[in-house]
Amino acid sequence: MQDNKFFPEIHGNLGFGCMRLPMNGDKVDYDEFIKMADAFTEAGFNYFDTAHGYISGKSETAIRDCVSRRYDRSRFLLANKLTESYFETQEEIRPFIKKQLELCGVDYFDFYLMHAQNARNYKKYTACKAYETAYGFKKEGLIRHFGLSFHDKAAVLDRILTEHPEVEFVQIQFNYLDYNDDGVESRKCYEVCVKHNKPVVVMEPVKGGSLVNLPEEADKVLRDLKGGSNASYAIRFAASNPMMSTILSGMSNLEQMLDNISYMKDFKPFTEEETSAVAKVCNIMKQKNLIPCTACRYCVEENECPMSIRIPDMFAAMNRNEAFSDGKPKQYYNNVLTVDGNGKASDCIKCGMCEAVCPQHLPIRELLENVAATFE
């Protein structure tokens, strides 16, 4: 396995994103998670990533029970984040990180990030002196490295990194479909990191699964390469850029974990043939009218929709409908998404609370009107 060029304590370049852990009903499936964590660590990797809001708090406690309590602390690295919705004043930041440490069953975080930074919430972090406060935790040994995760335009990132040179690394959304996207600006954000000499941690390398379950025409382009899974191309595309430290993959079962390990343990950079194949996939995908939802679930877990609308599942059904036209999404909408107390898309009262937390800045209210027109 290759050394990590930027942080010698990180083994290899694959990180285990713990936002989409295997579930059994509304509980994390500990048996499956343990198998995945064991496979990951036995392959030599050691970087786990979580946040307080992931799976409504269950990600942190699953890490405590399946990782922290089962491995010696020297065998794993843990990244956690300071999320906007859990503090209103500077004084609330210290109790919050103490609570996170306790929930995760550790004495320190190896990596600690200002979570999902954008122009709007950066004002709050600045007013609450969040950067200064969290960076101060380094001296106390509560955190080892200080960074930020980011969801906005490259110019905003440039400003934050100029104002906070103490930031050691940056986590950005980066995948081949968003690379030249005018909304996400993956490439431009990456270039800002290069300019400021900050190692990059990648999130959403498979765009919430959109680059795994490809429309048939795009799927065929990758199949014809005869080299690996669709996920492998997306993850290796991201990892092939020189400033990348770690590629986070939000794996949900052992099969995905073993697939990721198979090509990241002995990592091979992208070839020219692969680069031109993913360019073709992008062209095909851009012709489809897909909703760029990454299924992060912030809109349902960081926000309480008053009408209990399963927003990301509805968008996934819409995208599947657009990509495959097999009629199944409509059945799924009727049989699963709108029963058991869940609201229909047309029940949306347009309060806008979900849009305030969506890192992709999606016009959710407008999109739900399209969902209602399509499925109801």
**Would you say 160 or 364 has its CB closer to ligand SF4?**
364
Instruction: Provide the minimum distance between the beta carbon of 155 and ligand SF4 in the complex, in angstroms, as a whole number.
Output: 22
- Give the residue, chosen from 248, 296, 317, 318, that forms a contact with ligand SF4 under the rule CB under 6 A: 296
- Give the residue, chosen from 298, 332, 333, 375, that forms a contact with ligand SF4 under the rule CB under 6 A: 298
- Give the residue, chosen from 55, 177, 364, 371, that forms a contact with ligand SF4 under the rule CB under 6 A: 364
Q: Cα–Cα distance between 331 and 372 in angstroms, integer?
A: 14
Q: Could you tell me if 315 and 367 are in contact, meaning their C-beta atoms sit under 8 angstroms apart?
A: yes
**Would you say 57 or 306 has its CB closer to ligand SF4?**
306
Q: Give yes or no for residue 358 binding ligand SF4 (CB under 6 A).
A: yes
**Would you say 351 or 373 has its CB closer to ligand SF4?**
351
Q: Give yes or no for residue 353 binding ligand SF4 (CB under 6 A).
A: yes
Instruction: Provide the minimum distance between the beta carbon of 223 and ligand SF4 in the complex, in angstroms, as a whole number.
Output: 28
CA-based nearest residue to 47, from 260, 309, 234:
260
Q: Give yes or no for residue 352 binding ligand SF4 (CB under 6 A).
A: yes
Residues 149-168 that bind ligand SF4 (CB under 6 A): none
Other CB atoms within 10 Å distance of the CB of residue 30: 15
In the numeric block, the tokens 């065929």 are attached to 220
**Would you say 97 or 290 has its CB closer to ligand SF4?**
290
- Give the residue, chosen from 350, 363, 366, 373, that forms a contact with ligand SF4 under the rule CB under 6 A: 350
Q: Could you tell me if 122 and 153 are in contact, meaning their C-beta atoms sit under 8 angstroms apart?
A: no
Tokens at residue 235, please? 């993850």
In this chain, which stretch among 119-127, 174-182, 277-285, 359-367 interacts with ligand SF4, using CB under 6 A? 359-367
Name 66's Cβ contacts closer than 8 Å, sequence gap at least 6: 30, 33, 34, 37
Q: Could you tell me if 78 and 63 are in contact, meaning their C-beta atoms sit under 8 angstroms apart?
A: yes
Which DSSP symbol is given to 271? P
Tokens at residue 361, please? 């800045």
Q: Could you tell me if 165 and 193 are in contact, meaning their C-beta atoms sit under 8 angstroms apart?
A: no
- Give the residue, chosen from 248, 285, 305, 317, that forms a contact with ligand SF4 under the rule CB under 6 A: 305
DSSP strand E in 124-278: where?
143-150, 169-173, 200-203, 244-249
**Would you say 143 or 295 has its CB closer to ligand SF4?**
295
Q: Cα–Cα distance between 126 and 131 in angstroms, integer?
A: 7
Other CB atoms within 10 Å distance of the CB of residue 349: 12
Question: By rule CB under 6 A, what string of x and - marks binding of each residue 238-277 to ligand SF4?
Answer: ----------------------------------------
**Would you say 90 or 289 has its CB closer to ligand SF4?**
289
The gap from C-alpha 237 to its chain's centroid, in whole angstroms, comes to 16
E strand or H helix at 154, and its extent? helix 154-163
Helix, strand, coil % in the chain, rounded to nearest 5:
50, 15, 35
Residues 129-148 that bind ligand SF4 (CB under 6 A): none
* Angle, alpha carbons 151-282-225 (nearest 5°): 125
**Would you say 59 or 294 has its CB closer to ligand SF4?**
294
Q: Cα–Cα distance between 267 and 272 in angstroms, integer?
A: 16
**Would you say 82 or 311 has its CB closer to ligand SF4?**
311
Instruction: Provide the minimum distance between the beta carbon of 156 and ligand SF4 in the complex, in angstroms, as a whole number.
Output: 18
- Give the residue, chosen from 248, 293, 318, 323, that forms a contact with ligand SF4 under the rule CB under 6 A: 293
Phi (first) and psi of residue 195, to 5 degrees: -60, -40
**Would you say 157 or 358 has its CB closer to ligand SF4?**
358
E strand or H helix at 14, and its extent? strand 14-17
Q: Give yes or no for residue 299 binding ligand SF4 (CB under 6 A).
A: yes
In this chain, which stretch among 169-177, 186-194, 234-242, 295-303 interacts with ligand SF4, using CB under 6 A? 295-303
CA-to-CA dists, residue 331 to 39, 135, 184, 345, 373, angstroms: 37, 50, 32, 15, 15
Residues 306-345 that bind ligand SF4 (CB under 6 A): 306-307, 309, 311-312, 315
- Give the residue, chosen from 93, 285, 314, 354, that forms a contact with ligand SF4 under the rule CB under 6 A: 354
* Residues found near ligand SF4 in the complex (CB under 6 A): 293-299, 305-307, 309, 311-312, 315, 348-354, 358, 360, 362, 364-365, 368
